[in-house]
């Protein structure tokens, strides 16, 4: 039996997940994990599931050796990747074929607080996203897909509202 795909998205797997959660809503509660190990200076890596570690470092201007993207860049990448998943899923469910998808993500961080020079916000002040979506959908379909993606992005929701954060020093 052939698997039904649009945009390389396995629609049967998505449908099975939706039905599984409809039948047993507790299946929607998921937990994700990463383990980060420090390797000297500003170098570290994040081990996630069975994948090769994701390297992190700062650029030379911030005292690093530029061996990988820094954490704030990785956050932008995580947002862009999450949005890409959303566009692929929503377009596929709508029967719309994506020809090309590119997402530009940029944001502004003021380093004063991070460097201990002032009190305040050490994180992004704002983030801007520009989505370039070339597909065979109508203008109305594209707008609906876009609205669905924006309103359901887990990473987008996580960084656009207060999230409980509990950081403890292990004994």
**pLDDT exceeds 90 at position 1:** no
Query: Rounded CA gap, 64 and 70, in Å?
Result: 9
pLDDT at 2: 62
Mean pLDDT value across residues 55-80 = 98
| Residues 40-61 pLDDT 10s | 999 999 999 999 999 999 999 9
Split at pLDDT 50, 70, 90, the class of 65 is very high
CA distances 92 to 13, 96, 110, 140, Å, are 12, 6, 39, 15
Q: At what angle do helices 71-93 and 139-152 cross, to 10 degrees?
A: 130
Cβ neighbours of 156 (radius 10 Å): 19
Q: What pTM, to 2 d.p., does this model score?
A: 0.94
Query: Rounded CA gap, 80 and 112, in Å?
Result: 26
**In this structure, which CATH number among 3.30.300.20, 3.30.499.10, 2.60.120.960, 3.40.720.10 belongs to the domain 70-159?**
3.30.300.20
pLDDT at 3: 72
pLDDT at 13: 93
pLDDT at 67: 97
**pLDDT exceeds 60 at position 29:** yes
Alpha-helical runs (H) found in the chain: 11-23, 71-93, 139-152, 154-159
Residue 82, φ and ψ in degrees, nearest 5: -65, -40
User: Are 161 and 145 contacting, i.e. CB atoms less than 8 angstroms apart?
Assistant: no
Query: What are 117's two structure tokens?
Result: 């020079």
Query: Rounded CA gap, 137 and 132, in Å?
Result: 14
């Amino acid at each position: 039996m052939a698997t039904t795909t649009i945009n390389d998205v396995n629609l049967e797997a998505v449908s099975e997940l939706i039905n599984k959660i409809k039948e047993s809503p507790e299946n929607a509660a998921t937990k994700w994990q990463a383990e980060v190990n420090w390797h000297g200076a500003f170098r570290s890596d994040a081990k996630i599931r069975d994948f090769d570690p994701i390297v992190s470092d700062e650029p030379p201007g911030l005292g690093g050796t530029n061996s990988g993207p820094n954490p704030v860049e990785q956050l932008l990448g995580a947002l862009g990747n999450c949005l890409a998943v959303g566009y692929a899923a929503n377009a596929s469910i709508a029967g719309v074929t994506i020809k090309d998808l590119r997402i530009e993500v940029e944001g502004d961080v003021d380093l004063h607080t991070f460097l201990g020079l002032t009190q305040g916000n050490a994180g992004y002040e704002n983030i801007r996203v520009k989505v370039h979506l070339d597909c065979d959908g109508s203008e109305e379909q594209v707008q609906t897909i876009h609205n669905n993606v924006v309103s359901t992005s887990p990473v987008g929701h996580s960084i656009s509202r207060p999230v409980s954060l509990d950081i403890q020093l292990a004994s």
